[in-house]
A and B are shown apart, each in its own frame.
Chain A
Amino acid sequence: MEKSFPRVSRVLAAHATLLLYSALALFPVLLIILNSFKDRLTIFAVPFDLPSPATFTLDGYRTLGTTARFDLFFLNSFLVTAGSLVLILFVSSMAAFALAEYKFRFNSLTGLYLAIGIMVPIRLGTVGILLIMVDLHLVNTLWSLILVYTAQGIPLAVFVLTVFMRQLPKDLTDAARIDGAGEYRIYWLILPLVRPALGSVLAISMIPIWNDLWFPLILAPGESTKTLVLGAQAFLGEFVNDYNAVLAALTLAILPPVLLYVVFSRQLIRGITAGAVK
C-alpha cells in the first residue's frame, strides 16, 4: 500500500502535465478552425463557443473562393512537393546504392562531401541560387523550387538510405549477380527491400518542402507560381481585418499537412529518430 500510493499519484501527475500541454498545443489550432465557421459577430462576442445552427456560416470560405486562386496555389504546392520528393528518392537511392554496394576509391570522400549539406542550411547560398536561376531563366517557375528542394533533400536522404542499404545482407546482391543480373537491375531489386527507409525519407523531407516560405518568396513570387504557404501569407496580409476570410484561409492551410501527418506519422517518427540518431 505504501509503495503503490505514490506510484498512482505519480501517474496522475504525469497525465495531468501531458493533458495540460496537449491542450496548449491544440487550443490555438482548434480556436481558429471553430471560429472559421462562425459569423463575424459571434467570432468576437463568444470566441470560445462552438458554431451553432444560428451562428454557422461559410462566408469566409466564399470570400476565399472569389478573391484568391487557392486551388491554383494548392496545385503548385502539390506539384513542387511531389516533384521534389520523386527526384530526391530517385537520385538519392541511386547514390546511396553506389555508396553502400561498391568499394571504390572516393567512396567515403563522396559520402562526406554529401554530408556537408546535412548541417549547412541551403538558405545561406540564396544569393548564388537566385543568380543561377536568373541565368537558367527559371525564376518564377516551379522547376526552380523543385531543383532547390531536391538539392536540399539529397544529403540527409543519401545518408539515411546508405545506412539502411548497408544493413542488407551482401549475399542478396551476390546471388543476383550469379544469376546474371546487371548492376542496374540489382539496384531495382534492392529498392523494394528498403521501402521502410524510403518511407521515412519521404516523411521527413515532405513537411519542410510543403511549408517553406523563403524560396517561394524569392524564386517564384509570381501570381501563377505561388505556393499555398506564400499565397496564404499574401492573402492574410491583404485581408488582415476580414476575420471570416482570414480564419477560413488558415483552416484550409492547416488541413493538408495535418491529413498528411495522420497518414505518415509512423514513418515520420521513425525518420526523425533514424536521421538524427544514426
Chain B
Amino acid sequence: MPKPRSFPFHILVFLLPALLIYTAFMIFPLLDSLWLSLSKGGPAGALVFVGVQNYQTLFSQARWANPFWNALRNNALFFVIHMLVQNPVGLLLAALLGARIRGTAIYRTIIFTPTILSVVIIGFVWKLILNPAWGISRTVLQTIGLGSLDTPWLGLESTALVTLSLISVWQNVGIPMMLFLAALIRIPEELLEAAKVDGAGPWRTFWGIQFPLILPTVGIVSVLTFVGNFNAFEIIYATQGALAGPNFASDVLGTFFFRTFFGYQLQPADPYMGSAVAGIMFIIILIGVLIYLFGWQRRVHAIRY
C-alpha cells in the first residue's frame, strides 16, 4: 500500500477536538508549571530563567526546607499506611467476596459506598464522630471495652496524621477490593478445582494459586495508591484546613503546595516556589510510575497495549 501523501482530513477532524482540549488544559499547563519552577519574577512582570535555584531554595533554606521535608515525610507515612492497611484489607474483602457465598453483590455495594462520597463529606463526618463534644467515639470505644483509647484523635500532633490516613483508608478500601475481586473472578475454575482435588485447603489455594495469578493487579493497585497518595490534598484540607494542623502535623505535599502557591497568614503567595513544589510532586509520581512500568509490569506481565 502506498503511503498517503497528505494526512487524511477526516482523521484530523476526529482527533483534533480531544487533542486540542487535552493539550491546552493539561499538557501545556503542566509544561508551563515546570517552566515557572525554573523561573523568577523579574522587573515589569518579565520572567527570568534561574535554573534549579527554586529547587535549591526548597531543599536548603530552613524557611522552605523544614516544612518541605516535614510534608514529604508525612506524605510517605500516609502512603505506607495505605499500602499496609488499605490494600491488604481490600485483598481480604475481595477474597471473601470471591468465595462463592450469598449476598456478595449487597456486601460489595455497601462497602463501596464511602468511596463515592466527596472527601469533604467524609472528612467532616469523621470530624464530628471523633469530636469529644459529641462523644460518639467515646461511647463506641467504651461499649467495646476500649474506653482507655478515647483521645481527641484529630487534635493531637502525635495521632492526627495516622487518624487521617485511616479515614482515607476507610473511604478508599473499595477501590482495591473491586480491582482484586475482578482479577480473582477471572481465574479459571479448573485451576481451583484441580487444587481442591489435590487436597489443598482454601489458605494454600489462595497463596499458591490465586495470589500469584493476581500479581499484575497487585502492581496496578500499588501504583494507583502511590499516585493518589502523593497527590492527596482534600482529606487533609477538608478536615484540618490549609494549615494541616495541629502545628502542621498532618501537612502533605498537596497542602504544602496549596499554601505556597496561594500564600497564607503572613507568607505571600509565590507561584514560582509553588511550581517547584508541584515539580517535586511530578518527579516523585513519575519515578513511581516508571518503577511500576519497567520494574514490575515488564517482569510480571507482558504489557497488553
Contact = CB atoms under 8 A, between A and B. Distances in A.
Nearest to A6: B201
Contacts of B124: 236, 246, 250
Nearest to A15: B101
Interface in B252-289: 254, 257, 261-262, 271, 274-275, 278, 281-282, 285-286, 289
Nearest to B223: A119
A257 B175 CA distance: 16
Given A94-B14, A114-B22, A128-B28, A273 B178 contact: yes
Given A26-B110, A28-B129, A148 B25 contact: yes
Nearest to A47: B136
Contacts of A97: 14
B32 A125 contact: yes
Which of A127, A229, A247 has most chain B Cβ within 10 Å?
A127
Contact of B28 (A21, A132, A243): A132
A128 B31 contact: yes
A254 B22 CA distance: 31
Interface residues of A, number: 88
A154 B22 contact: yes
Nearest to B124: A236
Per DSSP, are chain B's interface residues mostly helix, strand or loop, or mixed? helix
A124 B278 contact: yes
B117 A257 contact: yes
Contacts of A132: 24-25, 28-29, 32
B182 interface: yes
Contact of B15 (A94, A261, A273): A94
Interface string A243-267: 1001100100110011011000100
Which of B30, B92, B262, B282 has most chain A Cβ within 10 Å?
B30
Given A102-B8, A124-B30, 6 more contacts: A11-B101, A120-B289, A122-B25, A151-B26, A253-B121, A269-B182
A224 interface: no
Contacts of B231: 121, 123-124
9 contacts: A44-B135, A91-B18, A105-B3, A124-B278, A127-B36, A128-B29, A151-B25, A187-B14, A233-B238
A17 B96 contact: yes
A172 interface: no
A207 B115 CA distance: 9
Interface string B206-249: 00000000000100100110010001011001100000000000
Nearest to B14: A98
A110 B257 CA distance: 31
A3 to B, nearest CB: 11
A188 to B, nearest CB: 12
Interface stretch (A52-60, A193-201, A208-216): A208-216
B151 interface: no
A18 B238 contact: no
Nearest to A247: B128
Interface string B91-103: 0110011010101
Interface in A115-149: 116-117, 119-129, 131-132, 147-148
Contacts, number: 251
Given A28-B126, A261-B113, A117 B136 contact: no
B179 interface: yes
A32 B33 contact: no
Interface in A1-28: 10-11, 14-15, 17-19, 21-22, 24-26, 28
A183 interface: yes
B120 A150 contact: no
B233 A104 contact: no
A151 B22 contact: yes
A88 to B, nearest CB: 9
Nearest to B35: A128
A237 B108 CA distance: 33
Interface in B6-22: 7-8, 10-11, 13-15, 17-19, 21-22
A265 B261 CA distance: 38
B32 A120 contact: no
A-B pairs with lowest CB-CB distance, top 10:
A128-B29, A128-B32, A125-B29, A98-B14, A151-B25, A273-B182, A95-B18, A125-B30, A211-B118, A91-B17
B21 A91 contact: yes
Contacts of B275: 127
A99 B12 CA distance: 11
Contacts of B10: 183-184
Which of A11, A124, A184, A276 has most chain B Cβ within 10 Å?
A124
Given A132-B28, A210-B118, A232-B120, A14 B96 contact: yes
B57 interface: no
Contacts of A44: 134-135
B27 interface: yes
B107 interface: yes
A14 B30 contact: no
Contacts of A170: none
B304 interface: yes
